[in-house]
Structure 1
Amino acid sequence: MSERANSIDGVAKTIAEILKDKKYSIDYYQREYKWETKQLAELVTDLTAKFLQLYSLDHKRTAVGGYPGYYLGSIIISQKGNQPFVVDGQQRLTTLTLLLTYLRRLQSDLGTPEVKIDELIYSESYGEKSFNLDVVDRNDCMQGLFEQGAYEAPPESVESVHTLVARYGEIDGLFPDELKGDALPYFIDWLKDRVQIVQITAYNDDDAYAIFETMNDRGLKLTPADMLKGYLLANIDDGMPRAKANDVWRSWMRRLDDLGESLSSDFLKTWLRSQYSTKIRERKKDAKPQDWDRIGTEFHRWLRGDSKRIGLTSSDAFGAFVTRDLDFYARQYERLTQAEVTFDPSSPLRFIRFNADHRFTLQDQMLLAPLRIDDDAASIDTKLEIVGRFIDILLAWRIWNFRATDYSTMQYGMTALMFRIRGLSSTELARELHRYLLNESETFESNDDLLVHQQNRGQLHKILARLTDYVTTQSGQASNYVELTGGTGVKYEVEHIWANHAERHTDEFAHEADFARHRNRIGDLLLLPKQHNGSYNDDTYEQKRPRYFSQNLLAASLDPQAYEKNPGFIRLVRNSGLKFRAYDTFTAASITERGDLFRAIAKQVWDPDDLLRVAGIVGAE
């Protein structure tokens, strides 16, 4: 074996140096791209927040070359002849490729000076284009995202393709508005040439995987979390106090990372922001980063500088910070993380799942903010339910009024609110968040013309799932929310009651566009399993209606049979005040009437007074 085959190289490289005209393969057994919204949000917000700390309006683009480098971790490569294989880091490299693909399209749409980034995404040889992350079953998807900025994943596509499409679609909402303009070429320059990754290259698989295992088993990756741990432990007296703190730290970091990649780092940022940050950077040009922003990019440095302010003045204080505070908030963060992907319809944490399904990643800091170390289990659950319900209501109102719910739009307002609810009692919390909702100008009352379109179809799917689930559970049946949102493997789709045949409705609509608009109103929509939705296809309402009776109760309520020998549903109709009725024919007026019914159901599902009731406060303020 050659000396080269036994060598290992490690060098810091810029994003451009790693990706430009390179061709990486990924072994078949680790090809799936699995990053969720939370990991994407952390990467995009870390990068953009760090850049905004450095950028100033009066800088020339050449000044970017003098900005400090930003370290983004390490990757491990196994070099097999001329072909490099990614052993560790494909999730990060794939996400960076998605970000670069988005930035390429954004600068074209905005007409800003274009920074050349195509060569970081793909290379061309003899007229054939191939992507620098060369995974065959992703190529059609990446081509669609690269050329059109969108891709309709066939149902039989591998998991990675569906995940790639979902994550790409979320980048625009995470990318700050202040970078969607003159600052954009500066940011792309910085991302390419000042953001660095340590590339560790081995020349056989055995060495590459030995490095991977060693770095993970022994914690040799020097991360901000490692540096924070070192600082905290160094300030705790040697012996039993330090050993105990070390055990608590190691146990929680391992436990959280077992739940999700880089979850321990996300926890540390969320915890510190929720309990100790006091200001967030204003959303205006040249505003300075505040402690909320700094915790996101350098929490280890921030804590060193602010240690006295937060009470770390003695060995005992440092020890309690880990063994008491970290232990408490990590335990609650673990519960939040689990609640995002599980569902118990009777749990006070169920609203966390609803909000996570809307990809609302800001909820964790808001949920932790009011919690106090001395809260008992009942108080903790009450606070989590109040905050979860509040976010759930706010998101529903915004979706109903065609308002954005993405990270970058809501980050400033929700963080400012987080500061206000920190440490509040349950009753104080309920009153504060109830007042906030009462001051909102856009509710279900402010829009009686909710329509489905391509951009909000996913959101309305979740809204319809909640309305359907409410009718189901209030009729005494088991919750079907998870099934309706695809959690049981059955794919549901938004069904139009009217088939797309304008000629059937010329008595009510002179123009096809008027018909199409009315057909897209919420009163014409249902959720049905994909297999049934496809089979109904162009059928008339009269043909569809008896088949709706065999589906969920909200669909079945269109048919007269639903009002016979169905005591739970009949009781709901009688007691709820909701104006259900069957329809022999379904006209334009029926769609309007049905839309009014859906709005009335929504007002019961998302009732601000529920915040007060959960806190034991009788009546609304």
Structure 2
Amino acid sequence: MSIKSNDMTVNQVFSHTKYYIDFYQREYKWRKPHITNLLDDIFYRFELEYKPTIDPTPENIDKYEWYYLSSFLTNSYNGQTYIVDGQQRLTTLTLIMISLYHLGNHYSEEELVEMLKTKIYGADITGKTYWMGQNGRMEVLDKMLKNEPLDNLPDNNISHVNMVNNFQTIQKYLEDRLINKHIYKSFVIYFLTKIILINIHIEKQKDVAMVFEVINDRGEKLRPYEVFKGALLGLIDKEEIDGKYNDIWQKGIEPLEAINDDLPDNFFRDYFRAKYVDSLGDYRDYDGEYHKTVFSNKWNEVLQLKRNINNIKEFIKNDFQYYSKLYHKLVDPQIFNKPYGEYVFYNSLTDQDRQLLLILAACKVNDPEENEKIKIVSKLLDRHYVLLHLFGCYDSNSFSRTIIEINQSIRNKSIAEIEKAFDRILLKDINQVKNTSITQPFEYAFFKDNNNLGIRFVRYFFARIENYLSTNINYQRLNDSQYYNYVRNTGSVNGYHIEHILSNNSENKALFNNDEEIFQKERNRLGALLLLKGKDNISSGNETYNNKLKTYSASNLWNRTLISDFYHTNKDFQTLINNEGLNFKPYNIFDRKAVEERQQLLFQLVKKIWG
């Protein structure tokens, strides 16, 4: 039999075995809810048995009902015991014992304190060793045991941070529950002798990956990327894993985890779609458990990763190492300030996250044109998305098919080929919806009356207009915080809101011959809209146009172009008008003619920004 199981008390688990954490295991990620749930369960069973009138001797506590905590998987290699699964609980049990150790000192329970010490660490040929102190955890455990300050540990180690936070949670919990010597001593004996774990020991290393995957599919699930790691690295000899393949894996995954726990799985889905998907059906294959999809018969014919050690090594050394680093580069929260990141940031504002797979598709491993491809793909995707909206051609379902077509067309292509592919597909998308055969995308007839645009898109559109103006008249370009306020912030202080220049009042309706249908249509065109910050649009409310101009005069550049004084005090603005042939003009009366002229002006700006 290749698997042996053995039920063990906490006392037996931590008697003489030094545990190493196998590469299958994630960092120590338990947080306060996990800790309190575990302690609540343990204390619930303990308090059912606890009797304050009975001496807390081992003989009396032995009469308590036992409590099954969980199982843990181990595997031995070169005389060392590796935890394949279960280190979250074993690490937490160690933190509990250290807390009990300190509480024992408080109650002067010297014998229990000495016994607890042997459950936390012991000695081997290397000297003092913590049973759960391998993989760089000895320093933090030693500080906890010695009651030394914990605030000077590096904060970039996820395991250390969580261990410190959980240790503090455990200390507070136990201090609140173990309020006297009697209950303390009873609990320590119960904890060590009546809590049972089952050790499942896998004798052959080649079986570890299979057992690990089955247990995590049927029990408390790991994330797909964690199971995927086990399925790949589990086939490689341990000598090659440590110091090479596992290091490559961790360097690719940990930076993504540090930003968001979902990013590693997002990365793998985007990678496989970017490099191998050619249809909507293929795309949907990676919606769910991609870590199983890649080993299916259909996809193994393409990927050839199933039990293929050489291909797995090549995948990790080449594609995984390069594309995980590239992915982290793209999801960097500071992307806007990078020379290649402006349009990546724009697409994130409009939730065009599929730009990530398109950029992965365009870049070859160690691509010398990486930064240029990031810029051109993100810029052309933004153009595609914006123009389809502005010309009334956007449909979310159709756009998903467009993404797949672009993905297939730009995969590993040169910049010139990428540009041609985007241009071709943009024209195709417009022609299909409009039933035309245009050869260039900018037709005013498409833009003229389209007002079926979402609120966030309109805010994004005017943010880009504002940035164009500020950049070209020697104002500072918008920064990322300003963009966020323009597009996504809905607050009453810094958020921006859509303002109708034409309020719903009789004075304005008279300018449209009191034709309600025409009035409503015209007031909702882009040429009759702008953005105001905070409560300004509420305060301007139902005002007449002349009164609104007072609010506009202290707001955005686009708004101020309605006012004649702005033209007299901004020479750089007049230079922009002359150089670019833009039909800016102020308006004392805002009627149907004014709406149309502003609409045409916006079309000019659209061609400048997205042309």
The interval holding the TM-score normalised by the smaller chain is 0.5 to 0.7
Q: Distance in 2 between matches of 1:451 and 1:431?
A: 27
**1:400, 1:450 within 8 Å by CA — same for their partners in 2?**
no
Q: Are 2:387 and 1:394 aligned?
A: no
CA-to-aligned-CA distance 1:67-114 (integer Å, 9 cap, x gap): xxxxxxx99967979xx9xxxxxxxxxxxxxxxxxxxxxxxxxxxxxx
SS at match of 1:388: helix
Match of 1:352 in 2: 344
Match of 1:422 in 2: 411
SS at match of 1:424: coil
Match of 2:6 in 1: none
SS at match of 2:543: coil
SS at match of 2:340: coil
Match of 1:297 in 2: 288
- Give the 3 Å change call, closer, same or farther, for CA 465–423 of structure 1 in structure 2: same
Q: Distance in 2 between matches of 1:411 and 1:272?
A: 16
Question: How far apart are 1:308 and its partner, in Å?
Answer: 5.9
Of 570, 573, 580, which residue of structure 2 is paired with 1:576?
A: 580
Match of 2:303 in 1: 310
SS at match of 1:309: helix
Q: Distance in 2 between matches of 1:243 and 1:276?
A: 30
Q: Distance in 1 between matches of 2:328 and 2:555?
A: 36
Q: Given residue 423 of structure 1, which amino acid in structure 2 is its aligned partner? A: N
Of 463, 466, 469, which residue of structure 1 is paired with 2:467?
A: 469
Q: Given residue 553 of structure 1, which amino acid in structure 2 is its aligned partner? A: L
- Give the 3 Å change call, closer, same or farther, for CA 513–567 of structure 1 in structure 2: same
Q: Distance in 2 between matches of 1:507 and 1:301?
A: 65
SS at match of 2:336: coil
Question: Any stretches of 5+ residues in structure 2 without a counterpart?
Answer: 1-8, 11-30, 45-168, 175-215, 435-440
Q: Are 2:208 and 1:227 aligned?
A: no
Q: Distance in 2 between matches of 1:260 and 1:304?
A: 26
Q: Distance in 1 between matches of 2:223 and 2:496?
A: 42
Q: Distance in 2 between matches of 1:593 and 1:500?
A: 21
TM-score if structure 1 supplies the norm length?
A: 0.57
Q: Distance in 2 between matches of 1:385 and 1:79?
A: 51
Question: How far apart are 1:573 and its partner, in Å?
Answer: 0.7
**1:233, 1:242 within 8 Å by CA — same for their partners in 2?**
no
Question: How far apart are 1:444 and its partner, in Å?
Answer: 4.8
Question: How far apart are 1:294 and its partner, in Å?
Answer: 2.3
- Give the 3 Å change call, closer, same or farther, for CA 308–436 of structure 1 in structure 2: closer
Question: How far apart are 1:389 and its partner, in Å?
Answer: 1.5
CA-to-aligned-CA distance 1:324-357 (integer Å, 9 cap, x gap): 2212111111122126x7523x733211222221
Of 452, 455, 458, which residue of structure 2 is paired with 1:457?
A: 455
Match of 2:591 in 1: 587
Q: Distance in 1 between matches of 2:242 and 2:293?
A: 22
Question: How far apart are 1:280 and its partner, in Å?
Answer: 3.0
- Give the 3 Å change call, closer, same or farther, for CA 467–474 of structure 1 in structure 2: same
CA-to-aligned-CA distance 1:95-152 (integer Å, 9 cap, x gap): xxxxxxxxxxxxxxxxxxxxxxxxxxxxxxxxxxxxxxxxxxxxxxxxxxxxxxxxxx
Q: How does 1:598-613 map to 2 (within 5 A)?
A: 598-607=602-611
Q: How does 1:9-20 map to 2 (within 5 A)?
A: none
Match of 2:204 in 1: none
Of 332, 337, 362, which residue of structure 2 is paired with 1:370?
A: 362
Q: Are 2:291 and 1:320 aligned?
A: no
Q: Given residue 473 of structure 2, which amino acid in structure 1 is its aligned partner? A: S
Q: Are 2:402 and 1:413 aligned?
A: yes
Q: Distance in 2 between matches of 1:452 and 1:468?
A: 19
- Bigger CA drift: 589-598 or 418-427? 418-427
Question: How far apart are 1:371 and its partner, in Å?
Answer: 0.6
Question: How far apart are 1:222 and its partner, in Å?
Answer: 3.1
Q: Distance in 2 between matches of 1:77 and 1:450?
A: 58
Question: How far apart are 1:572 and its partner, in Å?
Answer: 0.9
Q: Distance in 1 between matches of 2:170 and 2:549?
A: 63
Q: Distance in 2 between matches of 1:328 and 1:303?
A: 19
**1:236, 1:316 within 8 Å by CA — same for their partners in 2?**
no
Structure with higher RCO (Cα < 8 A, 6+ apart): 1
Q: Distance in 1 between matches of 2:326 and 2:36?
A: 33
- Give the 3 Å change call, closer, same or farther, for CA 277–601 of structure 1 in structure 2: same
Match of 1:162 in 2: none
Q: Distance in 2 between matches of 1:433 and 1:224?
A: 33
SS at match of 2:359: helix
Match of 2:326 in 1: 332
- Give the 3 Å change call, closer, same or farther, for CA 436–524 of structure 1 in structure 2: same
Match of 1:513 in 2: 517
Q: Distance in 1 between matches of 2:236 and 2:254?
A: 21
**2:248, 2:321 within 8 Å by CA — same for their partners in 1?**
yes
Q: Distance in 2 between matches of 1:380 and 1:403?
A: 31
Q: Given residue 336 of structure 2, which amino acid in structure 1 is its aligned partner? A: F
**2:501, 2:545 within 8 Å by CA — same for their partners in 1?**
yes
- Give the 3 Å change call, closer, same or farther, for CA 515–467 of structure 1 in structure 2: same
> Which runs of 4 or more aligned residues in structure 1 lie more than 6 Å from their structure 2 counterparts after TM superposition?
78-81
- Give the 3 Å change call, closer, same or farther, for CA 277–516 of structure 1 in structure 2: closer
SS at match of 2:530: strand
SS at match of 1:494: strand
Match of 2:23 in 1: none
Match of 1:259 in 2: 259
**2:402, 2:425 within 8 Å by CA — same for their partners in 1?**
no
Question: Any stretches of 5+ residues in structure 1 without a counterpart?
Answer: 1-5, 8-28, 32-73, 85-204, 211-218, 282-289, 608-621
- Identity among equivalent pairs (%): 23
- Give the 3 Å change call, closer, same or farther, for CA 233–528 of structure 1 in structure 2: same
CA-to-aligned-CA distance 1:261-284 (integer Å, 9 cap, x gap): 321111111111111234331xxx
Q: Given residue 298 of structure 1, which amino acid in structure 2 is its aligned partner? A: E
- Give the 3 Å change call, closer, same or farther, for CA 242–424 of structure 1 in structure 2: farther
Q: Given residue 309 of structure 1, which amino acid in structure 2 is its aligned partner? A: V
Q: How does 1:84-233 map to 2 (within 5 A)?
A: 221-233=221-233
**2:507, 2:544 within 8 Å by CA — same for their partners in 1?**
no
Q: Are 2:545 and 1:551 aligned?
A: no
